[in-house]
């Protein structure tokens, strides 16, 4: 319980908030990626349920390609891995933010493109909006925490960055 107290009350609030946001992001990518690999039917049913919740009818396209499922799961697992790298040592792995946001942006604008030019299925538009929000969260929390490291340093951070050397 002492670790949680130290974490919550640390001097560097942007770093704490970054760790919270990126823990959620990491889990939000890694757990579904595992599900896509191991139980694709469950993931597909969740997608269909969400679509019905937003008023869409059944999805009109077949989705039984093992090839694209593996590529998609690998993409989502990569997003989770990059989020985790940033959590491990934000200063060292900060350049990872650019490919992380690029990869998420490709998905976001891909959903928008399909919605606009191929088939106006509401879940494509919803995915675009949520992916856009996710990109903003990634950028905001990582950049604000990174800036705070320049003023506060790393000695008082909880958790300590892996292999950290205080530069401030």
User: Based on the structure, what is the number of domains in the chain?
Assistant: 1
By CB atoms closer than 10 A (0-12, 13-18, 19+), residue 66 is: exposed
Tokens read off for 108: 């976001």
- Domain membership flag for residue 2: no
- Domain membership flag for residue 3: no
- Domain membership flag for residue 109: yes
Specify the pLDDT at position 168: 45
For the four alpha carbons of 63, 67, 70 and 75, in that order, the dihedral sign comes to negative
Domain that holds residue 100: 12-52+63-152
- Domain membership flag for residue 160: no
Per-residue pLDDT tens, the chain, 168 aa: give them.
688 888 898 889 999 999 999 999 999 999 999 998 898 888 888 888 888 888 887 777 877 788 888 899 999 999 999 999 999 999 999 999 999 999 999 999 999 999 999 999 888 999 999 999 999 999 999 999 999 999 887 778 888 888 765 554
Specify the pLDDT at position 86: 98
């Amino acid at each position: 319980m002492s670790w949680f107290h130290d974490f919550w009350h640390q001097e560097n609030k942007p770093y704490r908030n970054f760790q919270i946001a990126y823990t959620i992001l990491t889990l939000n990518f890694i757990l579904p990626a595992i599900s896509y690999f191991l139980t694709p039917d469950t993931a597909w049913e969740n997608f269909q349920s969400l679509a019905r919740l937003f008023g869409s009818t059944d999805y009109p396209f077949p989705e039984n390609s093992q090839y694209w499922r593996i590529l998609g799961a690998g993409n989502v697992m990569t997003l989770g891995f990059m989020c985790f790298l940033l959590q491990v040592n934000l200063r060292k792995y900060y350049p990872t933010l650019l490919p992380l946001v690029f990869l998420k942006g490709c998905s976001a604008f891909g959903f928008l493109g399909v919605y606009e030019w191929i088939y106006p299925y509401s879940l494509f538009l919803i995915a675009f909006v949520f992916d856009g929000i996710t990109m903003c969260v990634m950028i905001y929390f990582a950049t604000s925490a990174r800036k705070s490291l320049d003023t506060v340093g790393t000695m008082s951070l909880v958790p300590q960055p892996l292999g950290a050397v205080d530069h401030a």
